[in-house]
């Protein structure tokens, strides 16, 4: 039987996290698992909004992008970012996964009430974010992004 090779669509990932080590670990995991996408890191929700709205020096977002969002950050936390994105007619369909250290049920429920695509606790996504890389690969292969 012939092996079927699936090409990932062109997409980008915006990592919104003030923890440089965590963001770098995600980037390394994506490289290790051969996920081919553009990756940009924002240190908080305000910087992420500037990037998405092309008000930042970083211009990277294609039509298809996924946000990996931490909740606990300075200036604008993850919930502030979610509120801003969901209230913007041009951004409300943005695909956002929470990637956080918070295991609080209240945070998880609040995030799902803001229509996130998934809620992941950093310590539970496998050594060196292996499960995250697998999830993003399968997600982008099987879902048509808005």
Q: Answer for the pair 71, 98: CB distance below 8 angstroms, yes or no.
A: yes
pLDDT of residue 60: 62
Higher pLDDT, 7 or 118: 118
Q: What global pTM score does this model have? A: 0.88
Among candidate residues 93, 138, 133, the one with its CA nearest the CA of residue 114? 93
Quick one: residue 8, left, alpha or beta (phi over 0 = left, psi -120 to 50 = alpha)?
A: beta
pLDDT at residue 63 greater than cutoff 80: no
In the CATH scheme, what architecture does the domain 12-142 have?
3-Layer(aba) Sandwich (3.40)
Among candidate residues 12, 14, 19, 13, the one with its CA nearest the CA of residue 102? 19
pLDDT in tens, 122-134: 988 877 788 898 8
pLDDT of residue 4: 45
pLDDT in tens, 100-119: 999 999 999 999 999 999 99
- Residue ranges of domains in the chain: 12-142
Angstrom CA distances, 98 to 1, 78, 115, stand at: 39, 8, 11
Q: How many CA atoms lie within 13 A of 88 on its CB side?
A: 13
pLDDT of residue 8: 45
Q: Answer for the pair 8, 141: CB distance below 8 angstroms, yes or no.
A: yes
Task: Average the pLDDT over 51-61 and give the result.
Answer: 76
Q: What are phi and psi of 21, to 5 degrees?
A: -65, -45
pLDDT at residue 1 greater than cutoff 50: no
Over pLDDT 90: what percentage of the chain? Answer: 60
pLDDT of residue 6: 44
């Amino acid at each position: 039987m012939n092996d079927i090779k699936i090409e990932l669509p062109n997409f980008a990932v915006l990592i919104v996290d003030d923890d440089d080590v965590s963001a770098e670990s995600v980037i390394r995991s994506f490289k290790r698992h051969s996920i081919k996408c553009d990756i940009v890191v924002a240190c908080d929700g305000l910087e992420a909004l500037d990037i998405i709205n092309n008000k930042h020096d970083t211009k990277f977002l294609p039509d298809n992008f996924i946000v990996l969002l931490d909740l606990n950050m300075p200036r604008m936390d993850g919930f502030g970012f979610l509120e801003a994105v969901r209230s913007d007619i041009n951004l409300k369909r943005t695909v956002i996964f929470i990637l956080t250290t918070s295991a609080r049920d209240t945070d998880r429920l609040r995030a799902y009430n803001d229509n996130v695509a998934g809620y992941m606790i950093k310590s539970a996504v496998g050594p060196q974010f292996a499960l995250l890389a697998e999830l993003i690969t399968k997600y982008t292969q099987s879902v048509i992004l808005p």
